[in-house]
Amino acid sequence: MVVGILVVLMLMVVAAIPVAAILGILSFGLDSVYFGGRLTPAIGEFVWDKSKEFILVAVPMFILLGEIMLRAGIAQRMYNAVAQWLVWLPGGLMHANIGSCAIFAASSGSSVATAATVGTVAYPQIERRAYNERLFLGSLAAGGTLGILIPPSINLILYGLLTDSSVPELYLAGIIPGAILSALFMAAIVAACLWRREWGGARIETNWRDRIRTLPDLVPPILLFVVVVGSIYAGLATPTEAASVGVCFALLLSAWTGTLKLSMLREAFEGTMRTTAMIMLIILAAVFLNFVLGFIGVTQAMINFMAELGLTPLEFMILLVVFYLILGMFMETLSMMLTTVPVIFPIVVQMGFDPVWFGVMITVLMETALITPPIGVNLYVVHGIRARGGKFNDVAYGSLPFVVSMLVMVALLIAYEDLALYLPTLVYR
């Protein structure tokens, strides 16, 4: 029975059926097989209750916040300011790529938007300063993935919803690994450029006067981060409230930069609602499937199955990492998380892992999925911004060093749980 369901599921996935339809029809199918269709009539009330949940309102708010920030015209100036501070490192502007992405990630929840915006600003520098094109493109693709780890992250909200984990704890847990991963990306660049000096491009002269002069350009994104994450941390606001305050802050900021126009707002609304609808259609179907699976007892069966295998927690986690690395090569990341977490999470907890820690872990694995070929959204995006064209493989090869950085991060997280848990423990436990 289970095998038959899995086969149909795989067929639908391979046939590029919309993920929401797959999950929805799967839950109807399971319901009619196991319960004679008794659960399906409840879908109306069930979806209504979930749709109006206040914690979920944070999702469109963070998307709207990112959309407005994207259009407030801060990317170019921010990139230049970050560059002033980081170009002395071997690899020059590639560090600015990572740094700008990290800061941009703190205001935007979309890795596609992050990679596309910073990428467009940075791309002309490859030719101008004779950088190694592959590594430069790789740094953009990898930097963009930071968006889902560094708070405010939409993915962490969805993980929190699926697993009943606290979103504020997840946000705090993402901060240190986000910083370490950025540092690991930079270390990869430094290592590559020490090995092959010509990859690092022409030197850029800078001085302390310019560094100080451009500093104000970094204030808006950092202030936004402090307002949003700080208010959650200080217990002033829930994530949804903090996101709403962030939206108002972004609105004031765009008024200040002179970009606040009716046409701009319309563009932002279209982008926000498009992404929100895309995510919610899947989420609500996934939550309903979760509900049906709960009645069937699939999770208990999975737990028993794993217990029979007799794996140690470490062996289990390594197996899981390999599973996600392979799955991530072929699957779009959001649907990967939404379809696997409901089944895998209970086993993870049963094995004694911390739910918040696993949220960070799976997010890093999703970042890897974003830059591993053949299906890696960020690779496509960075390839798409190349005005002079080129081979897709350039971006894929250039991202390899950063995949290594991510694997190091995974290993660090397994070895030192506290990298993720230190801040949440300090504040909440």
Partner 1 sequence: MLEGIYRAFGWISRRAVWVGGAALLAAAIMVTLDVLSRKFLNVTMSGADEVSGYVFAASTTWAYSYCLLNRANIRIDALYNFLPRWACAVLDTVAVSLLLLYNGVLAYRAWGAFSESWDRDSVSITTLATPQWIPQLAWASGLIFFEVVLLFVFLYSMIGLLRGDLDLVRRVAGVPSVAEEIEAETHGMNLQTGAREG
Of residues 229 through 258, those in contact with partner 1 by CB under 8 A are 231, 236-237, 240-241, 243-245, 247-248, 251
Interatomic CA distance for residues 110 and 147, integer angstroms: 6
Q: Are 107 and 254 in contact (CB under 8 A)?
A: no
Residues of span 294-353 touching partner 1 by CB under 8 A: 330-332, 334-335
- 264 belongs to the binding site for partner 1 (CB under 8 A): yes
Options 169-177, 183-191, 214-222, 386-394: segment touching partner 1 (CB under 8 A): 386-394
Per CB under 8 A, 134 contacts partner 1: no
Q: Which of 4, 219, 222, 270 binds partner 1 (CB under 8 A)?
A: 270
> Does 97 help bind partner 1 (rule: CB under 8 A)?
no
Select from 204-212, 269-277, 346-354, 418-426 the region that touches partner 1 (CB under 8 A). Answer: 269-277
Q: At what angle do helices 298-309 and 262-296 cross, to 10 degrees?
A: 70
Nearest to 75 by CA among 221, 267, 227: 221
Alpha-carbon span 303 to 280, nearest angstrom: 29
d(CA 419, CA 357) in angstroms, rounded, equals 9
Enter the tokens of residue 275.
Answer: 């992404």
Decide: is 21 part of the binding site for partner 1 (CB under 8 A).
yes
Report the residue number, 245 or 396, with the smaller CB distance to partner 1.
245
Q: Which residue is listed with tokens 């606001």? A: 237
Residue 106 near residue 151, CB atoms below 8 Å: yes
The one among 2, 45, 164, 258 contacting partner 1 by CB under 8 A: 45
Nearer to partner 1, 148 or 285 (CB): 285
We find the least distance from the C-beta atom of residue 396 to partner 1, in angstroms, to be 14
Least gap, CB of 57 to partner 1 (angstroms) = 5
C-alpha span between 335 and 338 (Å, rounded): 5
Find the binder of partner 1 among 74, 290, 341, 383 (CB under 8 A). Answer: 383
State how far the Cα of 399 lies from the Cα of 265, in Å rounded to an integer.
Answer: 35
Least spacing, CB of residue 190 vs partner 1, in Å: 29
Residue from 268, 320, 410, 421 in contact with partner 1 (CB under 8 A):
268
In whole angstroms, the minimum distance from the beta carbon of 420 to partner 1 comes to 28
Among 30, 64, 93, 228, binds partner 1 (CB under 8 A): 64
Return the residue of 28, 85, 291, 422 that touches partner 1, per CB under 8 A.
28
Would you count residue 60 as binding partner 1 (CB under 8 A)?
yes
Judge contact between 239 and 171, C-beta under 8 A.
Answer: yes
To the nearest whole angstrom, how small is the minimum distance from the Cβ of residue 92 to partner 1? 22
- Determine the Cα–Cα distance for residues 59 and 66; give it in Å rounded to an integer: 11
- Binding piece for partner 1, criterion CB under 8 A, among 95-103, 110-118, 151-159, 293-301: 110-118
CB of 142 to partner 1, least distance (A): 18
Rule CB under 8 A: say whether 139 interacts with partner 1: no
φ, ψ (nearest 5 deg) of residue 153:
-110, 130
Q: Residue 15 Cβ, how far from partner 1 at the closest point, in Å? A: 5
Binders of partner 1: how many residues, by CB under 8 A?
86
377-384 and 355-370 helices cross at what angle (nearest 10)?
A: 40
Cα(245)–Cα(167) distance, integer angstroms:
17
Residue linked to tokens 């002069």: 213
Please give the torsion angle defined by the CA atoms of residues 332, 371, 423 and 230, in that order, rounded to the nearest 10 degrees. Answer: -80
Closest to partner 1 by CB, 288 vs 345, is 288
Distance between CA atoms of 249 and 226, rounded to whole angstroms?
Answer: 11
If binding is defined by CB under 8 A, does position 150 make contact with partner 1?
no
CB atoms within 10 A of CB 350: 17
| Contacts (CB under 8 A) with partner 1, residues 348-367 | none
- In whole angstroms, give the CA distance from residue 86 to residue 95: 6
How far apart CA 16 and CA 351 sit, in angstroms, is: 34
List the x/- string, 177-216, binding to partner 1 by CB under 8 A.
----------------------------------------
